[in-house]
Structure 1
C-alpha cells in the first residue's frame, strides 16, 4: 500500500487564479453519469473533519478549525496562490468524481452549487505525487460531507504559472529546428522500417524528428503489391494511429494517369505546396511510400515554410503581416467534388499577436481560387499589392536552392512530413521509360500528438 503524507504548508503572498464570476446557478438536480449508486444529499461539514478513506490508504486530518471560503489559498512553490472554489471543485480527480476505468467525469460543472465553499487541508503524497487536499461546505448534491477533493500539485503549478492555452497541444515551438538543405543533408533522418515496426523507441525517434524538423524518412519498407498495395503504408501510419480518410480514400496512388483529376497524377513538374488547403480540416501529416522508381526524373523536393516565414518576420515585418492577414481562396471543383476554404498563408498560435509562434502555413498555388470580389478594390488595392509582394518574397525564400532538400526516393523508402509546415514538390519525369509510383496516406494532428505524449512518458527526459 502506498504511503500517503499530509502536511500543512505556510502561506505567503497571494496570487489569484481561476476567479469565476457567478451571478446565479439553479439548484442542480442529482446526476448519475457513471455513478452506480445514489448518494445522500451533502450535509454541512463539522468544525473538524472526520477520519476518511481516500484512494485506498487512511490518513488523519489536521485538528485545526476548518475555515471555509469561496476562495481558497494553496501554497505552490513557496507562494500562496488563490483559486476560486468552483474552479477547484470542478478540477477534482478523486475516484468519486472521475471514473477510475474510463477516466470520465462523473458530474457536470453546472452541478456545483454557486455558494460552495472550500478549505485547504494540506498536501498529500501518494507514490511520489503531491496533491492538494480540499474539504467542502455545501458540496454538489449527491456528494457526502466526507467527500475530499484532490488535485495534483503539478497541475496547479502549471495553472499558477499563467498557462493561457485555449487547448492542450503537445507541440512545443521551442523544440523546432528551422532547416535548409545543408541541415537536412547533415542529419541522419532515416530510420529502418523493421526497427520502426518492432520498437516503440524508434517510433518515438521518428515522431520527435517530425516535431522538430517536420520531416523524417524510413528505409526498407516492404513491397506489398502481391497482396495489398496499401498494406505497407497502412503499417507505417498505424504505428502512430488511425489513418485519415478523405475523398481520395484511406490510401491513394500518386502515378501518371490519363485525364488526371489532380496535377499530382501527371508527370509534370509540381511546385512546392501544401496538400488539401481547400478542406476545413487540412490533414496535418502526409506519408508517401515509394513503390516504383524506374522513371528518369521525378526527384522529390522539400522546403521548411516556417523558416521562410520567420525570415520574413525578421527582415520584412510588414510583408510577414500581409501573409498573416490577407485571405486567400483555395478550392477544388472536379470529379463530382466541391470544396472551398478561405485562409491566410501563415497561421499563428495567437492570431492577435504578430510575435506568436507559427502554427500552420497554407501554400498551394495549384489549388488557389480567385480572391473575394472586393479584394482588388478594397483600400485601392493596397492590401492585395502588399500580399502580392509578400507572396513573391515567400516564393523566393522557399524555392531558393539552398533552402530546398532534394532527393530521389528509392523503392522501399517512405517519407513522413508535416503537411502544414513542410512544402513538397516533384520534378518532371518520363513515364515512357519506366514507372514512378508512390502510395500515399494522411494522419491527423490529434493522433500524432496523442501518440507522442504517451511515448514521452516512456522515453522523454
Structure 2
C-alpha cells in the first residue's frame, strides 16, 4: 500500500468551482474530513477550491483497516509500476479518486459526483446484466458483494469504464461496466417526468388561447399517420385536450380511438359507455340538466387518466360542452393566493359513490403534488360526488380549518368559472374529444330533450397507458417532440391574467 501524497493530490484539483447538490440523486460527498488528514491538508484544499465548499470534497487516505482495498488516490496508483492485482488505470488522473466504497468523479468545472461502487455495479446495463430482448435484469441488488471494488478504471471525459474485482457470483471472468457522462451527471430514471424537456411542459391555457389553438386531427390521420398521431399525442400531453374529427358514424369508433392510445379502462359503467338521457338516471350526466365542472370517478383508488367522448347525435338545442384547465387555475392561485393554494395542497376532500350494487370512497387533496419535485401532478375535483368533509388528521373538525378550506375552494371555483378560463363548443356528430381527466374539468349546458336527441359514446384510458404512449412517440418521432414551444404560450399567460 502506497502512502497518500496529500499535497501532490491537492495540487491537481481545479482552482475553483461551485458545487450544488440536486434533490435525490447521487451527487453527494461526505459531510466532513477524516481527522487523520494532515493538518495542512485542509488549508491547501481551501486554497484549491472556492471558499465555503472545501467540506464537499473527499480526499481518500490510508488507514490500518483498509489494507488491500482500493484506497489510494489515482495519482499514487498510476505511479505504481508493479502491483499484484494490476494497475488501476485512468485516462484523466486529476479527475478521479478511488475510495474504499465509492468513486469520486470531477465531471466538469462545476460538478464533482460521488458514485458508490454498489450503485455503479447495480446500474450496469451490459448484455450480461440485462437481457437485450426481454430488458429484464439477470441479478438482484442483494447479490452484489459488500466488498465489491474496481480492479481497473478508465475515464476519458465522456465515458467511465470499470472492471470489477470480487464481482457477483465470485466469477473470475472479467466484467466491465460502462456509463456515459450524461447518465453519470444527471441520470433520468423516470422518463415520464414532465419537466425533463422544456418542450414537454404543460401549456396552461384559457379561453382565448384555446379558441385560437385547439388541436384537431382527422380520424384517418389519427389512425394511419404515425407522425400526425405523435403530434396529437404531444398536444394531448401539453394541452390536456385535443379533438378528433371525421369519425365514422359507428358506436364502436370510441373504442378504436381509445385503443390507439392504450387498453380500455373497464369500470362498473363498462369498457365503453353511453351518455344520453334515460329515466331515473343513476348519474346526472344521463339527464338533460346542467352539469357543472367536475372530473370523473374521483372516488376510485386510481381514477381514469384520460376520457374520450365521441358525438353520435346532438340535434337538441343547448348541450354545449365546457372545458377548463385546472393547471392554469392552480398557477393563478399559487401566484396570487399562496395561502389558499397551500390549503388545497394539504387538506383532503372525500369522494363517494354509494348505490345498491357499488360503494366507493376515497380522499385526496385538490392539488396533488409530486413528492420529489413539488410540481403539480394531478388535480382532483368533483363536487357532484364529494362526501361530507373528512376530519383533518383524524382529530375531528375545527372551525378555522373548515373555513379556510371553504374559502380556498371558493377562490378555485371563481377562477375556473370565470369566462376567461372556459373553452366552450358544441360537439357535432363525427367529433370526438379526448382530455386529461386529472387536469381538465368538463361540464355541459342544459339541453332540450323534447326536441332532437343527444348521444355521446364514452371510454377511459389509464394514465400509465398514455405515459407509455407519450414516451414511445418521443422515441419514434423525436422531431415532433423537440419543436420549439408555440408562440401562443406567452400570449396565453397574458390572456389568463
| Paired position in structure 2 for 1:314 | 335
1:405 equivalent in alignment to 2:423: yes
| Paired position in structure 2 for 1:47 | 86
Alpha-carbon spacing, 1:122–1:116, altered in 2? closer, same or farther (3 Å): same
Question: Conserved in 1, the CA contact under 8 Å of 2:309 and 2:457?
Answer: yes
Residue 361 of structure 1: how far off its partner (Å)? 0.9
1:111 equivalent in alignment to 2:129: no
Question: Conserved in 2, the CA contact under 8 Å of 1:74 and 1:132?
Answer: no
Question: Conserved in 2, the CA contact under 8 Å of 1:293 and 1:435?
Answer: yes
User: 1:407-446 counterparts in 2 under 5 A?
Assistant: 407-446=425-464
Matches of 1:20 and 1:111, distance apart in 2:
25
Question: Conserved in 2, the CA contact under 8 Å of 1:132 and 1:151?
Answer: yes
Residue 157 of structure 1: how far off its partner (Å)? 2.2
Q: Larger Rg: 1 or 2?
A: 2
| Paired position in structure 2 for 1:54 | none
User: 1:190-205 counterparts in 2 under 5 A?
Assistant: 190-205=216-231
Q: Hey, which of these two has a bigger chunk of helix by percent?
A: 2
Question: Conserved in 1, the CA contact under 8 Å of 2:29 and 2:114?
Answer: no
Matches of 2:417 and 2:378, distance apart in 1:
18
Q: Secondary structure at the match of 2:308?
A: strand
Matches of 2:148 and 2:29, distance apart in 1:
12
| Paired position in structure 1 for 2:248 | 222
Q: Secondary structure at the match of 1:429?
A: coil
1:97 equivalent in alignment to 2:129: yes
Alpha-carbon spacing, 1:418–1:143, altered in 2? closer, same or farther (3 Å): farther
User: 1:40-439 counterparts in 2 under 5 A?
Assistant: 46-47=85-86, 69-77=100-108, 79-118=111-150, 121-122=153-154, 131-141=159-169, 143-159=171-187, 168-172=191-195, 174=198, 175-224=201-250, 229=251, 231-350=252-371, 356-372=374-390, 380-439=398-457
Q: Secondary structure at the match of 1:154?
A: helix
5+ residue gaps, structure 2: 1-11, 31-82, 483-497
Alpha-carbon spacing, 1:365–1:120, altered in 2? closer, same or farther (3 Å): farther
| Paired position in structure 2 for 1:4 | none
TM-score w.r.t. length of structure 1: 0.80
Alpha-carbon spacing, 1:86–1:373, altered in 2? closer, same or farther (3 Å): closer
Alpha-carbon spacing, 1:426–1:117, altered in 2? closer, same or farther (3 Å): same
Matches of 2:206 and 2:286, distance apart in 1:
28
| Paired position in structure 1 for 2:467 | 449
Alpha-carbon spacing, 1:277–1:46, altered in 2? closer, same or farther (3 Å): same
Matches of 1:170 and 1:321, distance apart in 2:
22
The worse-fitting range, judged by mean Cα deviation, of 178-187 and 446-455 is: 446-455
The worse-fitting range, judged by mean Cα deviation, of 173-182 and 384-393 is: 173-182
Matches of 2:20 and 2:137, distance apart in 1:
28
CA-to-aligned-CA distance 1:246-283 (integer Å, 9 cap, x gap) = 22121111111112121111111100001111011011
Question: Conserved in 2, the CA contact under 8 Å of 1:301 and 1:406?
Answer: yes
Q: Secondary structure at the match of 1:267?
A: coil
Q: Hey, which of these two has a bigger chunk of strand by percent?
A: 1
Matches of 2:336 and 2:106, distance apart in 1:
45
Question: Conserved in 1, the CA contact under 8 Å of 2:206 and 2:324?
Answer: yes
Question: Conserved in 2, the CA contact under 8 Å of 1:319 and 1:386?
Answer: yes
- How many residues matched? 401
Residue 74 of structure 1: how far off its partner (Å)? 3.7
Residue 45 of structure 1: how far off its partner (Å)? 9.2
Name the Cα RMSD after superposition: 3.0
Alpha-carbon spacing, 1:427–1:139, altered in 2? closer, same or farther (3 Å): same
Q: Secondary structure at the match of 1:295?
A: coil
Question: Conserved in 2, the CA contact under 8 Å of 1:288 and 1:415?
Answer: yes
Question: Conserved in 2, the CA contact under 8 Å of 1:261 and 1:335?
Answer: no
Residue 154 of structure 1: how far off its partner (Å)? 2.5
Alpha-carbon spacing, 1:133–1:117, altered in 2? closer, same or farther (3 Å): same
Matches of 1:439 and 1:118, distance apart in 2:
61
Alpha-carbon spacing, 1:98–1:124, altered in 2? closer, same or farther (3 Å): farther
TM-score w.r.t. length of structure 2: 0.74
Matches of 2:339 and 2:304, distance apart in 1:
29
5+ residue gaps, structure 1: 1-9, 22-43, 50-59
| Paired position in structure 2 for 1:24 | none
Alpha-carbon spacing, 1:84–1:377, altered in 2? closer, same or farther (3 Å): closer
CA-to-aligned-CA distance 1:119-148 (integer Å, 9 cap, x gap) = 5622589xxxx6421111111115444111
Matches of 1:18 and 1:339, distance apart in 2:
44
Alpha-carbon spacing, 1:108–1:124, altered in 2? closer, same or farther (3 Å): farther
